[in-house]
């Protein structure tokens, strides 16, 4: 492998000059620059990452902590949709990082000490931790090690770390605004079971708040029906609402697992979508598209969140680390499952 000295010799300059041509940190005469560049090309020179890291104290690597969602007790992945969202994040993170000259190191250890290992060993300049839960042991570990770290998700106590997450409140506003704009005056959100709300899961509260406020200011009737996923549970939960004379003309389903059941229930009543009732899902596109009928949906903009996380990591590396929480806005993809309510 060619070294910087080989290049320097070949170009008839000092090694430092080659370094400066590469980094652009000082001005180089056009003649010198082109000789150096020629030498680099001829030798197929690539700077040694380790040497660079050692001398500059910068690795140009971002560590990405990805919890492998293994099914408990087995050695197989949990058959969740999780995996799709995970990949979406990666699809947002990796290209953005590359575009800033950074590589991405995958850290899948469940050990919270993994982060420290990576940081203390100067293996990466910053850490992005994915799928942070309400109470996540990794959060404190990251904070304690005082390393540049970004959390994807919103823990109960961020310990002063920066976070990125989906703007659920905005998602709620968006859904209601879309439906109200089509003329709906009565909207029901089919949501996660009551226990989820009782457990102060912030995302559930946030999306409801967004919907409720927008509904109120638009003069739209709105209520929430929490339900378990099983079909009989869904049927039972929805019956009181759907049986009324002034039944809702639109449903917003924020409960992936219950989605098929909801559609079954509607089909049982022989209600057509969107002719008899409009439906919006809050779900990844892969889910929304795969239902019996494709559903208009609000998607978690995982890629945008990933890219944002990278930007925040860069800022943190540069020491511009004002700890902040950024919420990424939702967008609604119309797949034709909503329409003006029939009079």
Handedness of CA 208, 211, 213, 216 (dihedral sign): negative
Assess 64 for contact with a copy of itself (CB under 8 A).
Answer: yes
- Of positions 9, 37, 48, 221, contacts DNA by CB under 7 A: 48
Could you say which of DNA, a copy of itself, none residue 17 binds, taking C-beta under 5 to 8 angstroms by partner kind? DNA
How big is the site for DNA, counted in residues (CB under 7 A)? 32
Query: What's the half-sphere exposure (Cβ side, CA atoms, 13 Å) at 41?
Result: 6
The string over 266-275, giving b where at least 16 C-beta atoms fall within 10 Å of a residue's C-beta and e elsewhere, is: beeeeeebbe
Neighbours of 212 (CB within 10 A): 18
Could you say which of DNA, a copy of itself, none residue 38 binds, taking C-beta under 5 to 8 angstroms by partner kind? none
DSSP assignment, residue 256?
Answer: G
Assess 122 for contact with a copy of itself (CB under 8 A).
Answer: yes
Could you say which of a copy of itself, DNA, none residue 303 binds, taking C-beta under 5 to 8 angstroms by partner kind? a copy of itself
Could you say which of a copy of itself, DNA, none residue 61 binds, taking C-beta under 5 to 8 angstroms by partner kind? a copy of itself
Assess 44 for contact with a copy of itself (CB under 8 A).
Answer: yes
C-alpha 27 chain-centroid distance: 40
Could you say which of a copy of itself, DNA, none residue 117 binds, taking C-beta under 5 to 8 angstroms by partner kind? a copy of itself
User: Minimum distance between the CB of residue 49 and DNA, rounded to whole angstroms?
Assistant: 8
Could you say which of DNA, a copy of itself, none residue 290 binds, taking C-beta under 5 to 8 angstroms by partner kind? a copy of itself
By three-state DSSP, how is residue 163 classified? strand
The angle, 0 to 180 degrees and rounded to 10, between the axes of the packed helices 4-11 and 15-23 is 100
For 17, list phi and psi in degrees, rounded to 5. Answer: -65, -40
- Find all residues with CB under 8 Å of 20, minimum gap 6, and list them: 26, 28
- Of positions 14, 23, 50, 195, contacts a copy of itself by CB under 8 A: 50
Q: What CA–CA distance (Å, rounded) separates 68 from 83?
A: 9
Assess 217 for contact with DNA (CB under 7 A).
Answer: no
The string over 36-72, giving b where at least 16 C-beta atoms fall within 10 Å of a residue's C-beta and e elsewhere, is: bbebbeebebebeeeebbeeeeebbbbbbbbbeeeee
Point out which residues bind a copy of itself (CB under 8 A).
1, 44-54, 59, 61, 64, 68, 70-71, 74-79, 83-84, 86-88, 90-91, 94-95, 98, 103-109, 116-118, 120-123, 229-232, 257, 260-261, 264, 284-287, 289-294, 303
Point out which residues bind DNA (CB under 7 A).
1, 3-5, 12-20, 22-23, 25-29, 31-33, 45, 47-48, 51-52, 54-56, 58
């Amino acid at each position: 492998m060619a070294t910087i000295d080989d290049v320097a010799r070949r170009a008839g300059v000092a090694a430092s000059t080659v370094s400066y041509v590469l980094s652009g940190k000082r001005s180089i005469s056009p003649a010198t620059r082109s000789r150096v560049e020629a030498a680099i090309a001829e030798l197929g020179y690539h700077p040694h990452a380790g040497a660079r890291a050692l001398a500059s104290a910068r690795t140009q690597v971002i560590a990405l902590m990805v919890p492998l969602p293994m099914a408990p007790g087995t050695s197989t992945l949990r058959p969740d949709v999780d995996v799709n969202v995970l990949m979406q994040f990666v699809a947002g993170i990796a290209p953005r990082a590359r575009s800033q000259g950074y590589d991405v190191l995958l850290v899948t250890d469940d050990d919270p000490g993994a982060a420290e290992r990576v940081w203390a060993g100067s293996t990466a300049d910053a850490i992005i931790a994915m799928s942070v839960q309400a109470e996540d042991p990794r959060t404190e570990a990251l904070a304690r090690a005082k390393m540049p770290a970004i959390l994807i998700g919103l823990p109960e106590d961020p310990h002063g770390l920066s976070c990125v997450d989906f703007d659920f409140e905005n998602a709620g506003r968006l859904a209601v605004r879309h439906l109200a704009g089509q003329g709906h005056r009565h909207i029901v959100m089919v949501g996660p079971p009551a226990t989820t709300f009782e457990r102060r899961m912030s995302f559930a509260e946030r999306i409801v708040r967004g919907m409720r406020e927008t509904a109120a200011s638009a003069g739209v009737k709105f209520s929430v029906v929490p339900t378990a996923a099983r079909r009989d549970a869904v049927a039972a939960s929805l019956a009181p609402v759907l049986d009324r004379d002034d039944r809702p003309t639109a449903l917003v389903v924020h409960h992936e697992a219950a989605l098929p059941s909801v559609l079954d229930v509607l089909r049982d009543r022989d209600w057509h979508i969107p002719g008899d009732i409009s439906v919006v899902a809050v779900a990844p596109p892969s889910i929304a598209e795969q239902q019996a009928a494709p559903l208009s949906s609000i998607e978690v903009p995982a890629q945008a969140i990933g890219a944002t996380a990278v930007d925040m990591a860069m800022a943190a590396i540069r020491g511009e680390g004002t700890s902040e929480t950024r919420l990424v806005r939702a967008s609604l993809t119309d797949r034709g499952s909503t329409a003006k309510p029939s009079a």
